[in-house]
Amino acid sequence: MTVETVATAPIAGQKPGTSGLRKKTHVFMGPHYLENFVQATFDAIGGVAGKTLVLGGDGRYFNDRAAQVILRMAAANGAVRVIVGTGAILSTPAASHLIRLHGTDGGIILSASHNPGGPDEDFGIKFNTPNGGPAPESVTEAIFARTQSIAEYRILSAQDLDLSAPGRRDLGGMAVDVVDPVADYAALMEGLFDFAAIRALFAGGFRMRMDSMCAVTGPYAREILERRLGAAPGTVVNATPLPDFGGLHPDPNPVWAKALMDEMMGPDAPDFGAASDGDGDRNMVVGRGIYVSPSDSLAVLAANAHLAPGYAGGLKGVARSMPTSAAVDRVARALGLPAYETPTGWKFFGNLLDAGRATLCGEESFGTGSDHVREKDGLWAILMWLNILAVRRQSVADILADHWARYGRTYYSRHDFEAIESARAEAMMTALRDSLADLPGQAIGGLTVQAADDFAYADPVDGSVSRHQGVRVLFADGSRIVLRLSGTGTEGATLRLYLERFEPDPARFGLDPQDALAPVIAAAHRIARIAEFTGRSQPDVIT
């Protein structure tokens, strides 16, 4: 085995987004592309000589090949140890847990999360810091800067390692510990939740359907739900992770998890339904005949977290991303808890969690989690719901009804306009920002604009400021719209339009969300001139 120093040159476009670098798979498979970014990451964190890393991914196409390259590069750069999941598989929350459990110097996660996988689809890579969370902007900016000046990378000349079973391997003097990807994570969950109560729930005839979408959570869900909690065999469907996710779009929302939605709205629906995404950090929750929005889910979990043993002592605070509805804020006020509003991206929750200011965090994009790891965690959220159901012995619909009766209902929806020409999307956002000062006081379709801004976040822990995180328009009746361009796509730009309206009147809790939001939707299109700039009058996806 010899260390090769390979001459290279900067490759344009290697700027990490909110969750690392995501591109089409064939781009990552191009000459030097993966290697450049990995070496730039190593260099940006001060090198990996003498360090220990965690490595794993969601099993999408190119996951196995990329893992072998990264292992050889880690060895060539002097790392002393890498902990890798069997078959180079780890869910994102499980990887975060391993980083924290073993006190490593960080980890590399191979995933494009909820994006489709396959040779013609998407791939991604990101670095997580020693706290287990995604790299903050200071680190991702340093990585990007290094990609623009890189001249060489180091890689070990060696055969592929056998990663098919747990055990220690040697790679040029670097220890490679292959571990069961599920065991440590399952043990963590068993320490947080009342497994005995959930087992009793299933033993009493409670039925569930879990759709793992041919993605990474299949083995985790089978082990925890079917083996440890006693759910009926077959409760977990699409449980085998596949490189192309079986042709499915591994995004747990009502559009892409349509089969689950149809079953849950059908005449013989199970009591509870759930789905998770490509890398296991997102979740969708559905009751018999009722869908639970991510914003409502976060609020319900905050109100009921004390029912789970791991949170019986109460919460330190709650945090939500700015586009997420304010439903959880009302719970926080009632409980006397601090509530934080951060930009989109789980990395912004890390400082709050590390400083002990927050316990629960959530994003409207189907991400929920707590201080047990530093990533959102799909199965954790599903188990929290099961714990609440096991203790309260009510249906999902009844729990939501009780919650709305106490706190009011927030109607909420997200409209996605996908693959817009980037220049058009940027022009629209620029024009919108230029109009913000003139909006307050304007009456638009029966709604009066009270305030408008381009959200900036001052981190209360380290004082760092993040600007241009999305445009907010607030109306006098408490309704709100938010517009931002997503950083998780790989083609063109995705415009995300977030719509929110608070309803305190119980007589109006049964409206269809799109009907309840109709005036807000119309106002948003007028204010942002969406059709004028994008040529689109209807979204591609509504969640």
Catalytic pick from 19, 96, 111, 113? Answer: 113
Is 475 within 8 Å of 441 (Cβ atoms)? no
Helices (H), 148-208: 183-192, 195-203
Angle, to 10 degrees, between the axis of helix 195-203 and the axis of helix 378-392? 70
First-residue to last-residue Cα distance in the chain: 52
Q: Is 113 part of the annotated catalytic residue set?
A: yes
Q: Which residue shows structure tokens 């690392």?
A: 20
Distance CA 374, CA 365 (A): 17
Which residues have CB under 8 Å from 187's CB, separation 6+? none
Is 353 within 8 Å of 258 (Cβ atoms)? no
Is 289 within 8 Å of 269 (Cβ atoms)? yes
Strands 457-458, 167-171: pairing kind = unpaired
Count other C-beta atoms under 10 Å from residue 15's C-beta. 14
The 8 Å CB, 24+ separation contacts for 231-240 are 231/202, 232/202, 232/207, 235/207, 235/208, 235/209, 235/210, 236/210, 236/212, 237/209, 237/210, 237/211, 237/212, 238/211, 238/212, 238/213, 238/214, 239/212, 240/214
Distance CA 20, CA 64 (A): 18
The string over 28-46, giving b where at least 16 C-beta atoms fall within 10 Å of a residue's C-beta and e elsewhere, is bbeebbbbbbbbbbbbbbe
Which residues have CB under 8 Å from 98's CB, separation 6+? 54, 83, 90, 104, 107, 179, 184
- Active site residues per annotation: 113
